[in-house]
Structure 1
Amino acid sequence: MYKMCYFVPESHLEVTKAALFESGAGRIGDYDCCAWQCKGQGQFRALEGSNPYLGQTGEVEQVDEFRVELVCRDELILAAVQALKESHPYEEPAYEVFHMEDL
């Protein structure tokens, strides 16, 4: 089992979750569409050659975003990461994937 964490602007919160749930992520036993989310603020600076969804090249941008966490079975993690990348508005979405131990 893996745990995936990603950051997304509110405009694409539901879109990304729906894509991940469709890929099979977010299932725990007899429950699906499971996720944890909280609102925070992220920041970045787009460098030369980038194509930012928000902000201007060379300027620090701060944006309200959601941190979303969900689990994913081993055999579905690559499809889940692909679903996130395809549904996320950012050119390079920030995400983390952790392998979980069964204790």
Structure 2
Amino acid sequence: MYKLVFFVPATHCEKVKAAVFKAGAGGQGSYGHCSWQVLGQGQFLPLAGSQPFIGEQGQLEVVEEFRVETLCAEEGFRDVIAALKDAHPYEEPAYELYQLAAI
């Protein structure tokens, strides 16, 4: 089992969550579409060659973003990551994937 953590602007949170759930994330026992999220601020500086969804090259941006955590099975995490990247508005979405220990 893996835990996926991703960061998404508030305007696109539900769309991206729906995509990763459709791809197979969010299952825990007899429940589906399980996640945890918290609103915070992300920042980034679009560099030369970037095509930012928000902001402009060379200008620091601070954006309201959600940190979303959900689970995905080992056999499906590649499909979940592909769905995340496809649905996310950012050119390079920030995400983390952790392998969980079975105890």
TM range (shorter): over 0.9
Amino acid at match of 2:91: E
Q: 1:1-103 counterparts in 2 under 5 A?
A: 1-103=1-103
The alignment partner of 1:17 has SS state of helix
Alpha-carbon distance between aligned partners in 1 of 2:41 and 2:89, rounded to the nearest angstrom: 16
Taking the aligned partners of 1:70 and 1:93, their CA distance within structure 2 comes to 16
The CA RMSD measured in Å over matched residues stands at 0.4
Distance in 2, matches of 1:31 and 1:87, equals 23
Once the 2 structures are TM-superposed, how far is the Cα of residue 11 of structure 1 from its aligned partner?
A: 1.1
Counting matched residue pairs gives 103
Please list every run of at least 4 consecutive aligned residues from structure 1 whose deviation after the TM superposition is greater than 6 angstroms. none
Offset at residue 22 of structure 1 (A)? 0.3
Unaligned runs of 5+ in 2: none
Measure the CA separation in 1 of the matches of 2:15 and 2:50. Answer: 23
2:68 match: secondary structure:
strand
